[in-house]
Amino acid sequence: MPVPKQKRITPEKALSTSEPSSPLLPEQQEFQQHLRALAQSAVRTVLELVMREELDAFIGAEWGECSPKRKGYRNGTYTRDLATATGRLEEMKVPRDREGQFHTQAFERYSRYEPHIAEGLTQMFVNLPATPTNFERGAAVAQFIPDSGGG
């Protein structure tokens, strides 16, 4: 004898857990962090490749190539941090030449931020209301604002 189906007393809407205004679930946060890491890795790879190709063009020869057009020699790399739209790239390898004449065009010399990141930090600092707490926060933000180089 089959058992008759009982009528559902919990509304279907109450069973749904995915609402647009709900906070991110841990899996979503992990997924977004994974995507951000992939984007940072891609940006790092492209920037380092571009800088190596810039050095090839500057020197006039690829790595290990003997050429009468050669104007210099490589001298390894140095590391530097750069804040980008995808996040902070730490210990990026920047190639250098033996004479110290090569400077990449991928980012400005002595700059640790892409220009739009620096502008955003500056605007955030300028727009803070003048309160003691925000003064402390502003001082913390100010350490990340690049110097204008005015002296």
**What is the pTM for the complete model shown?**
0.58
For 18-60, the DSSP string reads: --TTSPPPHHHHHHHHHHHHHHHHHHHHHHHHHHHHHHHHHHT
Answer for the pair 150, 116: CB distance below 8 angstroms, yes or no.
no
Expressed as residue numbers, the domain containing 123 is 113-151
Per-residue pLDDT of the chain (151 residues; tens, 9 = 90+): 565 666 656 555 544 444 555 666 778 888 888 888 888 888 899 989 999 999 999 998 888 888 888 888 888 999 988 888 778 888 999 999 999 999 888 877 766 666 666 566 566 656 666 666 656 665 665 555 555 444 4
Q: Number of structural domains, the chain?
A: 2
Give pLDDT, residue 137: 62
Same domain for 77 and 104, yes or no, is yes
Does 19 fall in a domain? Answer: no
Nearest to residue 48, comparing CAs of 23, 12, 78, 3? 78
Does 1 fall in a domain? Answer: no
Nearest to residue 48, comparing CAs of 92, 80, 3, 91? 92
Give pLDDT, residue 114: 65
Nearest to residue 82, comparing CAs of 115, 49, 57? 115
Give pLDDT, residue 149: 45
Give pLDDT, residue 87: 81
Same domain for 94 and 136, yes or no, is no
Same domain for 129 and 87, yes or no, is no
What φ, ψ does residue 63 adopt, rounded to 5°? -60, 130
Same domain for 104 and 124, yes or no, is no
Nearest to residue 37, comparing CAs of 109, 87, 93? 87
Does 66 fall in a domain? Answer: yes
Give pLDDT, residue 151: 41
Beta strands in the chain (DSSP E): 74-84, 87-97
Same domain for 92 and 117, yes or no, is no
Give pLDDT, residue 6: 64
